[in-house]
Amino acid sequence: MDIEQATKGIEGVITSQKKTSVRIRNSIKYRTASDIYRQPSYCLIPKPEKVTIVVHGEYVCVTGTINAKNVCFLEQWWWASKHREIVGSFRNLYSALNTFREAHSSYLDNINPTDILNNLQNLENNQPYDWENPIDSSDLEHQKIWNEVEISDELRQLAYYGYELYEGFFPKDSELRNLLNSLKPGSIIEFIWLPSSASEWLSHVPWGLMFQQPLPDSGEPINPLNFIGLRYRIEYKSHDPKGKLEALGFLHQTNRIHYLYWGETAEEIVPEVKWQRNILSSTWQNQEFVPNPDSTNPKIDILKSLKAPTPTPANLLYLYCFCDIGQGNTPVLRFGDNNANCNVVLPTDISQELLQDRPIVFANACTTLASSPDMANDLEKLFFKRGCGAYLGTEGKVPIKLASCFAMIFFHFFYRTVHPDRVVAGEAVIQTKLFLWQHYKNIGGFFYSYVGPYGLYVGS
């Protein structure tokens, strides 16, 4: 069901329930008119069930096809009435995510880059991962480590606050909660909550970190597939679209711009930068790296390129560096060895001009998506204001090697290295998460969230 069909169904529900507010109907039409695109054709066979959740005003409209039956209903949206409770859940969840990372960084980073490339090569022309026929390709070492992690206090705490946030948005007695709990693993959940929704808008919700089931008894293992970011395909639209976009162009017709850490003394990140540069330049064509290794003013080079990425057309901007959250929700991107002004890029340093090619922005650094409910993440907000096609970022601090490996796996899926047919951006993200889980028992993929149309793809 596309957005226009969903709109008609929603209007029918509103009428049947005597919610005939012209403001609501017009709001739905305005938000969805430029948001139509084809269902992605690859990695969605058999075609999964899909639920679309549209927030507007004090209501949430739900449409979809479940068990071959059309679903369409209107329900009160609980955010406004549970504001304080949910704000607390946000903070607890992000704190638990950081605690989990601190306690289990060695587990999250326990991925051999050479092994990753070999496994990706073995996947070529195979069917993508799915939930009905799970593949456990992990070795004994990774299984043993996971057996310790799955019963850890840190993972239990993360699941606890993930379930708390899930209950805050989807109360037990709600029809929407019952519907979500009935979805098959691998289904698409499309969340549409835009600034134009005439409600108390949240710039970002960590849907993927929500835990869907009550926790087992203390000491029992936590099932990571109950985090909805690993259980379902998530399509999340939180910014008003600036026109329809689907095909990003073929690799030989377009360019990718990579903004890489340029420091030399950080022992962990420097080898990862070299490995990424080697893989990117040797595997795919038209890769541009900024700054040039011989640059005398690398920060200026990055700012010039971010203002007007060249060569054009540029369909992806990739940032790999350190990042900390400064005052408010302002990310501070550090590309050099220290916090000197010449090594640091703030959102206020970056141009506000429109990105003419509407690229996907992949901000592969810490906390490039995370935000408190009452503040937007400045980096995400800036790129959507500039008209990016979609945004891939992180919910918290990410171990360096995990971040590097996640990016290379994502690029292999998205750039058709694993399969010659198109793999749309949203699907490439979930396939990367499943790859990490099924090969390495690694759940680090839930640090990443994708915001924007699911169906953007490399092709014409």
Cα radius of gyration rounded to whole Å, the chain: 21
* Beta-bridge partners for 316: 256, 360
Q: What's the pLDDT at 425? A: 94
Residue 374 and residue 303 share a domain: yes
> Rounded distance, CA 299 to CA 304, Å?
9
Q: What's the pLDDT at 33? A: 27
What is the end-to-end Cα distance of the chain in Å, rounded?
23
pLDDT band at 65 (very low <50, low <70, confident <90, very high): confident
What crossing angle do the helices spanning 400-414 and 269-283 adopt, rounded to 10°? Answer: 10
When pLDDT is averaged across residues 238-257 and rounded to a whole number, the result is: 87
Tell me if 414 is assigned to some domain.
yes
Number of compact structural domains in the chain: 2
User: Would you say 210 and 86 are in contact if contact means Cβ atoms under 8 Å apart?
Assistant: no
Kindly report the length of the chain: 460
When pLDDT is averaged across residues 195-199 and rounded to a whole number, the result is: 77
Q: What's the pLDDT at 19? A: 43
Residue 184 and residue 76 share a domain: yes
Given 182, 210, 237, the domain boundary residue is 237
Tell me if 257 is assigned to some domain.
yes
Tell me if 377 is assigned to some domain.
yes
> Rounded distance, CA 73 to CA 61, Å?
6
Q: pTM (2 decimals)?
A: 0.90
> Rounded distance, CA 446 to CA 43, Å?
20
Tokens for 145?
């480590």
C-alpha distances in Å from residue 128, one per residue of 22, 300, 351, 457: 44, 41, 39, 16
Residue 165 and residue 276 share a domain: no
Q: Judge whether residue 331 has pLDDT over 80.
A: yes
Q: Where are the beta strands (DSSP E) in 57-196?
A: 59-66, 69-76, 188-192
* 311 DSSP assignment: S
Residue 224 and residue 279 share a domain: no
pLDDT digits (tens, 9 = 90+) for 80-106: 677 777 888 899 999 999 999 999 999
pLDDT digits (tens, 9 = 90+) for 182-193: 999 999 999 999
Tell me if 315 is assigned to some domain.
yes
Residue 369 and residue 341 share a domain: yes
C-alpha distances in Å from residue 447, one per residue of 202, 220, 335: 19, 23, 21
Domain hosting residue 200, numbered range? 3-82+157-237
Residue 312 and residue 200 share a domain: no
Q: What's the pLDDT at 454? A: 92
Mean pLDDT of the chain: 86
Burial class (CB in 10 A: 0-12, 13-18, 19+), 440: buried
Of 427, 418, 460, 455, the closest CA to residue 116 belongs to 418
Q: What's the pLDDT at 356? A: 92
Given 208, 237, 266, the domain boundary residue is 237
Q: Where are the beta strands (DSSP E) in 110-245?
A: 188-192, 233-237
Higher pLDDT, 126 or 271: 271
Tell me if 133 is assigned to some domain.
no
Residue indicated by tokens 């169904």: 9
When pLDDT is averaged across residues 43-50 and rounded to a whole number, the result is: 66
pLDDT digits (tens, 9 = 90+) for 398-442: 999 999 999 999 999 999 887 777 789 999 999 999 999 999 999
Residue 227 and residue 312 share a domain: no
Residue 266 sits in a domain whose CATH number is 3.40.50.1460
